[in-house]
Amino acid sequence: MESQKEARTLQEPVARPSGASSSQTPNDKERREGGAVPAAAALGAEADDDSADGLWELPVEPAERRPECTRCSRPQKVCLCPFLPAHPLHISTHLYIIQHPAEENKVLRTVPLLAACLPQDKCKVKIGRRFSEERDPELSTVCRKSGTLILYPGAEAANLEEFILDSPVYPSTIIIIDGTWSQAKDIFYKNSLFRHPKQQEDFHLQARKRALTRTVTMQVQLKTSISSQYVIRMQPTNRCLSTLECAAVALSILEKNNYIQETLLRPLQALCSFQLQHGAQIRLSKEHLLKNGLYPKPMPKNKRKLRKMELLMNSVKI
């Protein structure tokens, strides 16, 4: 009788306190399936939880950036100032760089090197994706001047060298967009400052003659056979140039001075050489990889992107 009473007592559920949760903990499940959990293991688990909770209370120290050179914006240990001109280049052309915000914090960006080679009053960098007359009156005024050009390739773009030969007003300002090709396309086509109609008709009533007066930004492109020396970053095609290289070629044409191109490319060559000596690899263009069956990623399923890939493989200008 005593044994039956003890067995019946063991089988009866133990009443929970009124404030206890009805959900089962992992320890309860383990006790039900495989017996009681050792007390040492339970204490160890509680200690781990306490130590993990304590980590959240530790102060987070911000990562310290390496000291940067004030001129070339490179870390001081890998400063490229020895490859920059001793004094800023003397130029008459004003250069405006429209930089996508994503480019501002990239380590291997070329715009700081470009700006370090030019006078501060001749090279201005404007960061953003959208520009308007209200947001940037200065840029709006520049874009409406007859001597302003924007460098962006396309079917409607005039060749820079040919344009300056026929233009009645010699260009005084050139705008270059800094970013990936998709970012540059977004900035160019979604900012009306850069895409006003190129000409407006002005009828001279006294002379009864039609005059075409350009009052907005003229789109130009470079016609060059040089390959990019920015080999540590992948380009879409073999003909694509970095922002610094575009500026170097354009300024040498506008200033009629090939020394400008040589001087601006020198720090870029030094940057790439240093990176290659310390583990970086030469990045071949996407066009080259596709043509030679070396492209590491699967072909896109999106028809528009797939069409772009096919154009690259066939050397068709996009």
- The pLDDT tens digits for 139-165 are 999 999 989 999 999 888 999 999 999
- Pick from 231, 238, 227, 245: nearest CA to 276: 231
Residue 98 has pLDDT above 60, yes or no: yes
More confident residue, 237 or 28: 237
> Of the given ranges (6-10, 124-128, 170-174), which has the lowest mean pLDDT?
6-10
More confident residue, 223 or 173: 173
* Average pLDDT for 22-40: 50
| pLDDT score, position 177 | 97
- What tokens does 93 get? 């052309």
| pLDDT score, position 39 | 55
pTM, entire model: 0.71
Band (pLDDT 50/70/90 cuts) for residue 203 is very low
Band (pLDDT 50/70/90 cuts) for residue 91 is very high
Non-local (6+) Cβ contacts of 16 within 8 A are 22
What is the percent of the chain where pLDDT is above 70? 70
Mean pLDDT of the chain: 79
More confident residue, 12 or 293: 293
- What tokens does 67 get? 């000291």
CB 217 within 8 A of CB 148: yes
| pLDDT score, position 163 | 93
- The pLDDT tens digits for 254-303 are 999 999 999 999 999 999 999 999 999 999 888 888 888 888 888 777 77
| pLDDT score, position 206 | 36
Residue 22 has pLDDT above 50, yes or no: no
Band (pLDDT 50/70/90 cuts) for residue 131 is very high
